[in-house]
Amino acid sequence: MTHHVFSDSDVLGFYGSLSGHPGCSMVIDMNSASKTSIKQIFCGTNHDQTDLAGKVIEQRYNKRIASYDELESLVSEWGGKLDESARARIKF
């Protein structure tokens, strides 16, 4: 993975170019995001986060996750906890 660091003068250029790249997106679509992206929305250890992300992916093969309330209910059933600070970044 490549990381980019921008100075203040580079920020405007970034928002006109790389900001549209999926790897630069702040939004996490629960019905299409990768396991690595989904892990970011959970509290707990890396192992816990990986396990929960895998369960989300399994769930979406069976049925699309439609809302935050549905996601929260599923995660609770699985014994996990959502990171509230990530809520604004989640879409369905």
pLDDT (tens digit, 9 = 90+) per residue, 40-75? 999 999 999 999 999 999 999 999 999 999 999 999
pLDDT at 7 over 50: yes
Tell me, yes or no, whether 42 lies in a domain. Answer: yes
Domains held by the chain: number:
1
pLDDT of 8 strictly over 60: no
Q: Is the pLDDT of residue 12 over 60?
A: no
* The two three-digit tokens of residue 5, written as one number: 């660091």
Give me the pLDDT at residue 19, please. 47
pLDDT at position 38 over 80: yes
Looking at the domain assignment, is residue 61 inside a domain? yes
Q: What is the separation of C-alpha 72 from the centre of its chain, rounded to a whole number of angstroms?
A: 14
Residue 70 belongs to domain spanning = 26-91
Q: How far is CA 5 from the centre of its chain?
A: 21
pLDDT at 26: 84
